[in-house]
Amino acid sequence: MMMRGLWKLTWIEIKVFLREPMGAFGTIVFPVLIFLVVGRMVGRRMAPASLATSSFIHVGLPVIAAVLILVSAVLSLVTIISIYREGGILKRLRATPLRPQTILTAHVIVKLLLTAATLALMVLAGKRYYPVGVHIPLFSFTIALLIATLSILSIGFLIASIVPTARFAQPIGAAIFYPLLGISGLFFPVASLPPALQVVARALPTTYAVSLLEGIWKGDPWSAHLGDVAALTVAFLLCIALSTKVFRWE
């Protein structure tokens, strides 16, 4: 019964999202286009690639793309939840036998599906930039991405629980996430940061998410990243526990 409600709600949320003027284009088409354009530019200019650029194209770019898409999905979740709260939609749904967890789960599933669709398209589109025969551990990477996504989504939930109004949801979310990404090792190694920032970086789940994604993409075994998985799990549990305490339905 509740599964029927969950499925219906998820399906309707997908449809409603795609009807938004920027919905499908902004989340799926646009990132893939950017990826293609950047891939072309980088690929052409640096054709006789040095080791560094080649490593950037082969490891850096895909992980950067994945993380940025993931974070934009989380930001959109934060915004949607605060809009739904402000408009009384969450409250109206809560006045039905639908469990609160079900309502929130539906939104998480929508974001996961849309992120997955975008990334799948990107993988297809990006295929041509990768020499045939380069092995990419797609399955492991998908799992790593799922773990990273759930952990970062939980931070998003925590933010969504406390932002005062829908108008501030997106800017506050961005103001929190982009600095987190800046020192996460996504763009330059954590070791190159000033020591104080390194300490901060090591306390943040995004750093472990990036380390996990890059490692698995490069072909590291899971055993080399158990610490990352543990850190992400702890962050997830912590954020969910805090969210359930401070989440406001109206």
Partner 1 sequence: MPPVIQVSGIRKTYGSTVAVDEVSFEVNEGEIFGLIGPNGAGKTTTMECIEGLRTPDRGTIAVLGLDPFRQVYKLQDRIGVQLQQAQLQKRIKVWEAVNLWASLYQRQAADGERLLEQLGLADKRDAWFMNLSGGQKQRLFIALALINDPEVVFLDELTTGLDPQSRRAIWDLVRGIHDRGKTVFLTTHLMEEAERLCDRVAIIERGRIVDMDTPERLVARHCPERTVILTTDDPAAEAHFRAILQVQSVTCADQRFTIQGTGDDLVTEVIHCLSENHIRVADFRTILPNLEDVFLKITGHSIRD
The residues in 52-81 that bind partner 1, with binding defined as CB under 8 A, are none
CA torsion through residues 23, 81, 71, 209, sign: negative
Is the CB of 86 or the CB of 220 nearer to partner 1? 86
Q: What is the DSSP string of 50-96?
A: -HHHHHIIIIIHHHHHHHHHHHHHHHHHHHHHHHHHHTTHHHHHHTS
Kindly state whether residue 89 participates in binding partner 1, applying the rule CB under 8 A.
yes
Question: Rounded to the nearest whole angstrom, what is the least distance from the CB of residue 97 to partner 1 in the complex?
Answer: 5
Binding range to partner 1, per CB under 8 A, among 64-72, 93-101, 108-116, 187-195 = 93-101
Nearer to partner 1, 18 or 175 (CB): 18
Q: Which of 33/250 has CB closer to partner 1? A: 250
Give the footprint of partner 1 on residues 97-126 (CB under 8 A).
Answer: 97-99
Give the 3-state secondary structure percentages of the chain, helix then strand then coil, rounded to 5. 80, 0, 20
Q: Report whether 186 contacts 67 (CB < 8 A).
A: yes
From candidates 26, 37, 87, 226, binder to partner 1 by CB under 8 A: 87
Binding segment for partner 1 (CB under 8 A), chosen from 84-92, 155-163, 168-176, 185-193, is: 84-92
- Considering the rule CB under 8 A, would residue 248 count as an interface residue with partner 1? no
Residue 242 CA neighbour count, 13 Å, CB half: 15
Among positions 19, 44, 135, 245, the unique one binding partner 1 when judged by CB under 8 A: 19
User: Containing H/E element for 152?
Assistant: helix 138-162
Alpha-carbon distances of 149 from 18, 44, 156, 179, 225, rounded to whole Å: 21, 32, 10, 17, 16
Distance between CA atoms of 109 and 189, rounded to whole angstroms? 32
Residue 9 binds to partner 1 (criterion: CB under 8 A):
yes
Write down the least CB distance from residue 4 to partner 1, Å: 5
Alpha carbon distance 56, 54 (integer Å): 5
Q: Is 12 in the site for partner 1 (CB under 8 A)?
A: yes
Does 20 bind partner 1 (CB under 8 A)? Our answer is yes
Q: Site for partner 1 (CB under 8 A): which residue of 51, 95, 191, 196?
A: 95
| Distance separating alpha carbons of residues 103 and 16, to the nearest angstrom | 15
Contact residues: partner 1, CB under 8 A: 1, 4-5, 8-9, 12-13, 15-16, 19-20, 84, 87-89, 91-92, 94-99
